[in-house]
Each structure stands twice: as structure tokens, then as C-alpha cells.
Amino acid sequence: MDRFLGALDQTLRTLFATPRASRPCPVVPNEATHLGADERRHAGALMRVNHVGEICAQALYTAQAMATRNAGLRLQLEQAAREETDHLAWTRTRLDELGARPSLLNPLWYAGAFGLGLVAGRLGDPVSLGFLVETERQVEAHLQGHLDRLPAADHASRAIVAQMKDDEAAHAKLALASGATELPAAVKLAMRAAARVMTTTAHYV
């Protein structure tokens, strides 16, 4: 019951509260951001997708932490979720700065990711960690794609995305060292397909 209430509290805070970062927002020293209207719209759409990714990350980690019976792993997942809260706060702040809105479908994205995390967690810790590793690898590749697509002058967004990319790689490395199992190729492909639907939709909605 305590884990359920904790998960419910995390859900409400993720979807309806203003996230607060424990680390300062990344910046590029001495580099001011100056964007035209089209560049702002483009950057805003990309950062909306990244914000959705952080909504999903909160759901995944919360569900996996609730599902595991391993107290040590639960603490590890909760720590990763706290680091992802920094990403959630940074991307939301950047959306506001760009004059862009979050996705209107955030509750749907959260529910879907929570369900996937719960299923992965119920399949056992090695599978749950394997799911985490593959998720973070795909997110890392996705963020690299955004670094390639963000306007060159958008130093603010690029600094955030670069730090997020480093953090995701660290999460994957830790999960791998904690006993993650390699997921079947078909599962990885399905995860990529689901992520593509989410990122394409969130770009606009």
C-alpha cells in the first residue's frame, strides 16, 4: 500500500505540479541564444517531445520501483527518477522560454509508460533492468538526433539536451552493471515503433 500511495503521489506531482530541479539548468557559458520566429517554433516542438520523454521516464521508473521486491534496486530506480526530475524541470522551463506548450496528451503518455514499466517490473528484475537499458539507449540516440536538428544558435536548448544525453547514458551503464538482461530483437523493435509514434505525435500535439 505504501508503494502504491508513493506511486500515486509521484504521478500527481509529475502531471500537475511544477517540477523543481536539484541541479542548476545546464548552460553554455558566454553564449546567448538569439532565435528567429521559425527557429523558436522548431526548437519548441523538439523540446516538447523531450518534455514528453521525461514524463514517460517518470512513469517508467515509478512503475518499476513499485514492482520490484529488491530494496536496493528500488533505491537505484528512485535515484534515477530524481535525476530525471531535473530533466523534466529543465525541459518545462525551456518550453516556457520558447513560448511553447507541453503536449496535450501528457496523461496518456504517462499512463502508457507506467503500464509498460509495470509489466517489465513484473517479469523480474533482470528483464526490468534490460528494459531500462534499452529505453535509455534509444533515448540517448533520440537526443543525439535532436542535437543534430536543433538550431545552431539555440545554445540554451542544446546545453540541456547534451546534459540529458550524458545522464541517460549513465543510467543505462548502471542498469547494465546491475544485472540487466538483453531484450529480444523483436521487443527492441516494438519499443522503437512505439517511441516513433509518441515522438511524431508529441511534435504537434
Task: Report the first-to-last Cα separation within the chain, whole angstroms.
Answer: 35
**Is 20 contained in some domain?**
no
**Is 46 contained in some domain?**
yes
How many domains does the chain fold into? 1
CB atoms within 10 A of CB 149: 12
Question: pLDDT at position 76, please?
Answer: 87
**Is 1 contained in some domain?**
no
CATH of residue 126: 1.20.1260.10
**Is 179 contained in some domain?**
yes
Question: pLDDT at position 78, please?
Answer: 86
**Is 3 contained in some domain?**
no
CA 115 to the chain's CA centroid: 15
**Is 5 contained in some domain?**
no
Give me the residue label for grid cell 550524458.
166
DSSP 205: -
Question: pLDDT at position 1, please?
Answer: 61
**Is 115 contained in some domain?**
yes
Question: pLDDT at position 79, please?
Answer: 86
DSSP 152: T
Can you give the residue range of the structural domain that contains 84? 35-202
**Is 47 contained in some domain?**
yes
C-alpha dihedral (194, 182, 46, 197), degrees to nearest 10: -10
* Ordered per-residue pLDDT tens for the chain, 205 residues: 667 776 667 777 788 778 899 999 999 887 888 899 999 999 999 999 999 999 999 999 999 998 999 998 998 888 888 888 999 999 999 999 999 999 999 999 999 999 999 999 999 999 999 999 999 999 999 999 999 999 999 999 999 999 999 999 999 999 999 999 999 999 999 999 999 999 999 999 9
- 26 CB-near residues (< 8 Å, 6+ apart): 90, 159, 160, 162, 163
Label each residue of 24-39 as H, E or C.
Answer: CCCCCCCCCCCCCHHH
